[in-house]
Amino acid sequence: MRFIPSFPLLACMALWLLSPVPSPADKPNIVLILADDMGWSDLGCYGSEIPTPHLDSLAAQGMLATRCYTASRCSPSRASIMTGCEPHKVDVGLLDDDSGRPGYRGRLNPDIPILPELLKKAGYRTYLSGKWHLGKVRGTYPWDRGFDRSRGLLGGAADYYKPMPDRPFGEDGKLLRPEDLPENFYMTEDITQTALAYIDDAAKSKKPFFLYVAYTAPHTPLQAPREEIEKMLPSYRGKSPHAIASKRLEKQKQLG
């Protein structure tokens, strides 16, 4: 499930972070994890039959959103997360194609500051590991919009195993070719390992950090290692979508 902050909330956060009063020790490290096109009930803590123990543990220690709304498309949701604005106001009303019309330019409005730019001014190191999908032409990439380090898919959905020539992949200011990526490349694993490396990098800097971890999973083409698929087959074999949904609902009633 995607969480979209309101603009006042983001503005208040920015004012607090830019205040000269807090010391570096008072500024929390921020890790923002985004799942792509995941159904709201697909986590164990929301009633799913899919085991998600680490996220369930975080939920048990934190807060669950029960009345949270989002844009129904990929790029608009990301635009709101990065800006705190309604997506049309920042020119990402649909996806990352430029229609030439206001609200549908397919990239973040350059006149509106986004989260990593504000956090950099507050003394943060800023990182993106994963999918961007908020601009696919020069001048609109993550390294143009406040991220100190970034690696991942710049456009929309792509093959998890075989990087596609028409889906640009970038790292730290340059575009990568499919042959630049390892032979055993798997998108989800690459995003995770990059995120962990960025945390190590941030520790060396002795600055607070903002890490945006934007997975392509579970967006189509729904690719996963064979062993992971086989683990879940018994949960679905011979069962209708209605039966699965009904079982989730019963679990949700118990959780509530």
Q: Kindly name the residue from 45, 68, 74, 85 that is annotated as catalytic.
A: 74
The pair phi, psi for residue 138, each rounded to 5°, is -55, 140
Q: Kindly name the residue from 12, 68, 133, 242 that is annotated as catalytic.
A: 133
* Neighbouring residues of 54: CB distance < 8 A, sequence distance ≥ 6: none
CA pair distance 72, 18, nearest whole angstrom: 32
Instruction: Say how many C-beta atoms besides its own lie within 10 A of residue 219's C-beta.
Output: 18
Please spell the DSSP secondary structure of 62-95, one letter per residue: S---SS----SSHHHHHHHHHHSS-GGGGTBSSS
Task: Tell me whether strands 169-171 and 174-176 are parallel, antiparallel or unpaired.
Answer: antiparallel
Strand order in the sheet with 125-130: 30-34, 209-214, 125-130, 149-153, 169-171, 174-176
Instruction: Say how many C-beta atoms besides its own lie within 10 A of residue 85's C-beta.
Output: 20
**Encoded tokens for 205:** 């800097």
Of 188, 194, 182, 185, the residue nearest 149 (C-alpha): 194
Say whether 133 is catalytic. Answer: yes
Catalytic residues: 74, 133
